[in-house]
Amino acid sequence: MSKTVKILVALLLAVCLSSVLFACGGATNPGQTSTDAQNSQQTAESSEEEIVIDDYDHTIVFYSTQGDALQAKTQIAIDAFQAKYPGWKVVHTQVGGYDDVKAKIVADLQGGLQPDLAYCYPDHVAQYLQTSKVVDMKQFIRSTESVKDGAGNDVPVGYTDAEIADFIEGYYNEGLATNYGEYKTYGYADDSMLTLPFVKSTELLYYNADGLIGAGLYTTDDAGNKIPKVAQTWDELWSQCEAIRKTYPTATPLGYDSEANWFITMCEQNGWGFTSADSANHYLFNNDNTREWLETLADYYDKGYIVTQNEYGSYTSNLFTKGMDDGGIAYCIGSSGGASYQASNKFTWGVAPVPGSVQKDGSVDKSVISQGPSLCMLYSDKAKDRNEKAKMTFMFVKELLDPTFQAEFSITSGYNPCRKSTFDVEAYQEHLDGDSITAVAASVATTMVDDFFTSPAFVGSSTARTQVGNVIVYVITGQKSAAKALADAYSNCGGK
């Protein structure tokens, strides 16, 4: 007998102001690139809708943040899954923004009506772990079992070694339990897989090629063409600032769209310490190295060298697109997923990796943050056979991670696929060969995969991210000394 279940879902009713919506909700979420939020600039109000599921045992409930354009793309994977496995259905619901998804799942877990699959960031999963309802996907990834499709064919549940190797390593490894604090307390092992990547973004350096050349920051090729000298290290970027300001007195050399990302990236590139999964000492950011760097940033701010999102009051890409002569910026560091917001017809633009930090041995650490949604599975409390439902949910996950579908979704969203073989899909190759800023950004991002990093996730990791972002604003604007700002942030995180 089928089981009827009623689920109350908070739905976001929005008047969309952007053509392609990825996230819903205006504020930058912990673990979310600034442009994840920027991609969904909209006015919205929330309401609740009761969804009645007639056959809950054979219905996969999927929460995401997708707007209409991306929901239409995801429907392709849903249709493929439902055609392959008759009798199974997927209910895909846009709950709201990333914070809304987390809040809804936390509430659902208390009532035993959590979704089977959801968009997530690591700090979300760290909170879900405490219920022990997060599915360890290793059991399915490594499964030798098969399931029957509608034609009676055997379809492997697990991935082969070659298929696992097809995932971009940095994206795949983000889901390992060892990236989470206290995972063993909740019954998970070192090799447990708590999430799988869906699509990802990273940060890129967008630059005004005409502006750099105008400031004398260029080299020439054999034909005498001027090639902008794009900063590859932070030292190079800071050394260019004086020339940029002298040539363009009303312009600012650098804009950064996420203060938190900047702080965290500098800690990673230089080994200063940001956070740790070690429950005895989660917060490492209050140290002499970060203090000295913040004091240097304050000096650069006073010289007119930098502007950040929260200090400016808006995304610095808005300044970048203005052009140097109109009070814009020469460099803008923002999300690869929001490349379209950096496009301008007022000048020649370019895209490059984020600058690296020179080490004592002369090498350059180019570590760059990796963000964007992953997929988390949760056991169903109400299903007759929760293991069977989890297995079929995993089969739907495989549809979402199919390289052909990844290509379609990535082209529409502007985010990067998680499977290497996606780059062999003809449509995606054509996309990367394009000359739009979205295509160029995607191409540059593919060259950076060996440098991606993620921070440890634990209950409180999102607080640390918010706090260090605030630290930069407090220090550069003179509201607090570096020492005071760091000490306050440490205290606000619960550090002692």
CATH code: domain of residue 364: 3.40.190.10
Beta bridge partners of residue 358, listed in sequence order: 364
pLDDT, residue 279, reads 73
In 235-373, at which residue ranges do the beta strands (DSSP E only) sit?
252-256, 306-308, 329-335, 349-353, 357-358, 364-365, 368-371
Of the three residues 424, 446, 466, the one that is the final residue of a domain is 424
Asked if pLDDT for residue 182 goes beyond 60, the answer is: yes
* Shared domain check, 173 and 149: yes
% of the chain surpassing 70 pLDDT? 90
pLDDT confidence bin for 281, thresholds 50/70/90: confident
pLDDT, residue 48, reads 56
Contacts of 359 (CB under 8 A, 6+ apart): 365
* Shared domain check, 404 and 314: no
Q: Which amino acid is at 8?
A: L
pLDDT confidence bin for 183, thresholds 50/70/90: very high
Q: Which amino acid is at 273?
A: G
- Residue 433: inside a domain: no
- Residue 464: inside a domain: yes
Asked if pLDDT for residue 32 goes beyond 60, the answer is: no
Asked if pLDDT for residue 442 goes beyond 90, the answer is: yes
Q: Distance between CA 352 and CA 342 in Å, rounded?
A: 13
Q: Distance between CA 378 and CA 136 in Å, rounded?
A: 9
Q: How many domains does the chain have?
A: 2
* Shared domain check, 187 and 88: yes
Average pLDDT, integer, range 150-173:
96
Rg (CA), the chain: 23
Contacts of 66 (CB under 8 A, 6+ apart): 21, 22, 24, 74, 92, 94
pLDDT confidence bin for 29, thresholds 50/70/90: very low
Q: Distance between CA 392 and CA 153 in Å, rounded?
A: 15
Of the three residues 424, 444, 465, the one that is the final residue of a domain is 424
Asked if pLDDT for residue 22 goes beyond 70, the answer is: no
pLDDT confidence bin for 2, thresholds 50/70/90: low
Average pLDDT, integer, range 163-188:
93
* Shared domain check, 206 and 124: no
Asked if pLDDT for residue 35 goes beyond 70, the answer is: no
Q: Distance between CA 425 and CA 422 in Å, rounded?
A: 5
CA dihedral over 349, 362, 272, 288, signed as positive or negative = negative
pLDDT confidence bin for 27, thresholds 50/70/90: very low
Say how many residues make up the chain. 496
pLDDT, residue 322, reads 97
Asked if pLDDT for residue 245 goes beyond 50, the answer is: yes
Average pLDDT, integer, range 34-63:
64
Which one-letter DSSP state was computed for residue 481? -
Asked if pLDDT for residue 468 goes beyond 50, the answer is: yes
Average pLDDT, integer, range 234-247:
98
* Shared domain check, 207 and 75: no
Asked if pLDDT for residue 41 goes beyond 90, the answer is: no
Instruction: Name the nearest CA neighbour of 209 among 224, 194, 231.
Output: 231
* Shared domain check, 99 and 28: yes
Interstrand relation of 357-358 and 364-365 (parallel, antiparallel or unpaired) = antiparallel
Q: Distance between CA 150 and CA 83 in Å, rounded?
A: 7
Asked if pLDDT for residue 149 goes beyond 80, the answer is: yes
Asked if pLDDT for residue 449 goes beyond 80, the answer is: yes
Site of tokens 């999963």: 125
* Shared domain check, 273 and 168: no
* Shared domain check, 280 and 252: yes
- Residue 69: inside a domain: yes
* Shared domain check, 419 and 382: yes
Among 19-23, 274-278, 406-410, 471-475, the minimum mean pLDDT is found in 19-23
- Residue 430: inside a domain: no
How do residues 255-264 score in pLDDT, each as one tens digit?
999 999 999 9
pLDDT confidence bin for 51, thresholds 50/70/90: confident
Q: Distance between CA 56 and CA 392 in Å, rounded?
A: 13
* Shared domain check, 270 and 137: no
Asked if pLDDT for residue 301 goes beyond 70, the answer is: yes
pLDDT confidence bin for 196, thresholds 50/70/90: very high
pLDDT, residue 7, reads 62
pLDDT, residue 50, reads 66
Among 181-185, 222-226, 303-307, the minimum mean pLDDT is found in 181-185
Asked if pLDDT for residue 55 goes beyond 50, the answer is: yes
pLDDT, residue 435, reads 93
Contact predicate 98/122, CB 8 Å: no
- Residue 317: inside a domain: yes
Average pLDDT, integer, range 224-241:
97
Contact predicate 285/469, CB 8 Å: no
- Residue 434: inside a domain: no
Tokens of 129: 């772990």
Q: Distance between CA 421 and CA 416 in Å, rounded?
A: 12
Q: Which amino acid is at 212?
A: L
Among 38-52, 164-178, 332-346, 362-376, the minimum mean pLDDT is found in 38-52
Contacts of 153 (CB under 8 A, 6+ apart): none
* Shared domain check, 186 and 208: no
Q: What is the mean pLDDT of the chain?
A: 90
pLDDT, residue 108, reads 95
pLDDT, residue 36, reads 47
pLDDT, residue 8, reads 56
pLDDT, residue 208, reads 98
Q: Distance between CA 60 and CA 56 in Å, rounded?
A: 8
Average pLDDT, integer, range 25-32:
36
Tell me which residue range forms the domain holding 14.
5-198+374-424
pLDDT, residue 155, reads 98
pLDDT, residue 9, reads 52
- Residue 443: inside a domain: no
pLDDT confidence bin for 53, thresholds 50/70/90: confident
* Shared domain check, 278 and 236: yes
Q: Decide: residue 471, CB within 10 A, 0-12 exposed, 13-18 middle, 19+ buried.
A: buried
pLDDT, residue 432, reads 92
pLDDT, residue 33, reads 44
Q: Distance between CA 481 and CA 488 in Å, rounded?
A: 11
- Residue 441: inside a domain: no
